[in-house]
Amino acid sequence: MRSNVFMIAANAADQEWFRQASVRALRQAYLHFYPDLSSALEWLKGSREGVNLILLDADGLKTPELQSFLSAYRLSRYRKIPLVMYGSSPDYPVRTYAEDVNAFLLAPPDPEERTRMWHSVVEFWLNVSHLPWEF
């Protein structure tokens, strides 16, 4: 059965990079993009589709939108789905771990390093970790 990875990234270049990096990493998964938090929030409130991992690009997010999304995430049936944030600022981890985010990844500037990191994230969250609904 294929996994569903839900990704929120406003930057079109980031979306394209993830598409390219995902070709090998996500052979057994579908990658769904949402360009902003409002469309992601609508999806989160109404979707019946199973999701295995939520990735959130922290760069360029507005705090009120992020708070709304995280509040809805906590109250939804998806709160047991791993939520991983990534971004380029070393200030993000403190903010994100306070918000019940499962992990924060500081995106390396080198594209090859980012690709290796992305493959490791996918391998861990989709193939290695044991999530609450599996027990």
Number of domains in the chain: 1
Residue 43: CB atoms within 10 A of its CB come to 16
Question: Per-residue pLDDT averaged across 86-92, rounded?
Answer: 78
Mean pLDDT, the chain, whole residue set: 77
Q: Please give the model's pTM, rounded to 2 decimal places.
A: 0.81
Residue 133 lies in a domain: no
pLDDT, tens digit, 9 for 90 and up, residues 61-88: 777 777 788 888 887 777 788 888 888 8
**pLDDT recorded at residue 13:** 76
Range of the domain at 88: 3-114
Decide if 54 is inside a domain: yes
pLDDT score, position 112: 84
**Six-digit token pair at 64?**
């009120």
In a domain, 124, yes or no: no
Report how far residue 60's alpha carbon sits from residue 28's, in angstroms, rounded to the nearest whole number: 30
In a domain, 132, yes or no: no
In this model, does residue 6 exceed pLDDT 60? yes
